[in-house]
Amino acid sequence: MTEIIDGNEVGERVKDGLADGIETLSAEGVTPGLATVLMSEDGASETYVSMKQRACEEVGIDSVHVEIDPDAPESELLDRIDELNEDPSIHGILVQMPVPDHVDEKAVLRRVDPAKDVDGFHPENVGRLVAGDARFKPCTPHGVQKLLASADVDPEGQDVVIVGRSDIVGKPLANLLVQKAPGGNATVTVCHSRTDDLGEKTRNADVVVAAVGVPELVDGSMLSEGTVVIDVGVNRVDADTEKGYELVGDVEFESAKEKASAITPVPGGVGPMTIAMLLYNTVKAASLQEDVPVDLPSAS
Ligand SMILES: Nc1nc2c(c(=O)[nH]1)N[C@@H](CN(C=O)c1ccc(C(=O)N[C@@H](CCC(=O)O)C(=O)O)cc1)CN2
């Protein structure tokens, strides 16, 4: 029978695992603080930011929210990041992506103090991750590692095909999965829009991670029997529903489920893990900045 990997359940376990750490910090007079920065009117981005704030409240992390007019100049965003970098009550800063076209995303990511970069997107943190010395693992890739572990899938020796080469998911996940470390030691292939015969690659994989942002790109015909399928895509497609859309992944769930030994659904798969791992990184950031050691749930 195909195992449906429940990201809500695994995410709740990660959040529960943070309680001791938050208590330890609290005993030292420290409450972890996260700043969310939104420079967009995109409905999905607004949803994700409010989900992040609600999750903070649930576990006892303080959150402040900064909203910047999407038409404002880039300098306004950079100035607000500078203020948050200087604010000792803020241990983690995340700028919700994507930012408007007139804003240089790389300049924004470089501006966040690497010690507060709980997304793990600053070049210093990217470098540390690649060197096998991650300070903050990017939330979605870290969440994928946790989901694999929860389904007793050890990537060691497995052929993993990642569909998508984004800076947020594909590239950091590939780096994590090849590392000589628990949750790593896989043989990784990263596919993208120029990949020839994607189906041939995915059919030869033990694990397929779809993270490309194309609704239902990967279907059952592209999978072999027993493949583990992790669907990172959360795509809003027009539908005759109250909201006017429905969420679909990058995987065509019904046909993929027929082949998969385990598969994540959308919604309720990788998405909740992205939020849970953000909380994890925020507690870690507070612990490092305040020099209060805490026990955090194992790395993968
Ligand atoms: N600064 C960042 N920006 C973005 C990131 C990121 O990690 N850091 N990732 C994505 C979006 N994302 C987080 O921001 C995200 C996407 C989806 C979910 C989620 O829980 N989805 C739910 C469905 C929610 C809904 O109703 O729409 C699910 O899959 O069950 C959380 C976070 C891009 N930007």
Rounded to two decimals, the pTM is 0.97
pLDDT given for residue 297 in this prediction: 82
Q: Which atom of ligand 1 is nearest to the CA of 270?
A: 29
Tell me the CA distances in angstroms from 119 to 159, 199, 256, one per residue in order: 27, 31, 30
Give me the half-sphere count of Cα atoms (radius 13 Å) on the Cβ side of residue 166: 18
| For residue 299, pLDDT beyond 60 | no
Tens digit of pLDDT for each residue in 210-238? Answer: 999 999 999 999 999 999 999 999 999 99
Three-state secondary structure along 192-245? CCCCCCHHHHHHCCCEEEECCCCCCCECHHHCCCCCEEEECCCEEEECCCCCCE
CB atoms near residue 117 (< 10 Å)? 27
The atom of ligand 1 lying closest to the CA of 8 is: 30
Pairing of strands 207-210, 159-163: parallel
Higher pLDDT, 298 or 283: 283
Q: Which CATH superfamily is domain 24-115 in?
A: Leucine Dehydrogenase, chain A, domain 1 (3.40.50.10860)
**Mean pLDDT, residues 103-130:** 98
- What is the rounded distance in angstroms from the CA atom of residue 102 to the CA atom of residue 114? 23
- Nearest CA residue ID for atom 12, ligand 1: 48
Question: If you average pLDDT over every residue of the chain, what do you get?
Answer: 97
Percentage above 90 pLDDT, the chain = 98
Active site residue 145: no
Predicted local distance difference test score (pLDDT) of residue 45: 98
Domain spans in the chain, listed from the N-terminal domain onward: 24-115, 139-271
Decide whether 24-115 matches 139-271 in CATH topology: yes
199 is in an annotated binding site: no
Three-state DSSP class for 162?
strand
| Distance from Cα 246 to the centre of ligand 1, integer Å | 15
**Element (H or E) spanning 7, and its range?**
helix 7-17
Percent over 70 (pLDDT), the chain: 99
The DSSP bridge partners found for residue 170 are none
Predicted confidence (pLDDT) per residue in 7-34, tens digit: 999 999 999 999 999 999 999 999 999 9
Given the residues 52, 116, 137, 259, select the one marked as catalytic.
Answer: 52
| 212 has binding-site annotation | no
Whether 52 is a known active-site residue: answer yes
What pLDDT score does 300 carry? 54
pLDDT of 53 > 60? The answer is yes
CATH match of 139-271 with 3.30.1490.270: no
Instruction: Tell me what the mean pLDDT of segment 176-202 comes to.
Output: 97
- Active site (annotated) includes residue 257: no
- ipTM score for this prediction: 0.98
- Vertex 130 angle, CA 126 and 136, to 5°: 50
Residue 271 has pLDDT above 60, yes or no: yes
Does residue 234 have a known ligand-binding role?
yes
State the Cα–Cα distance between residues 56 and 64, nearest whole angstrom.
10
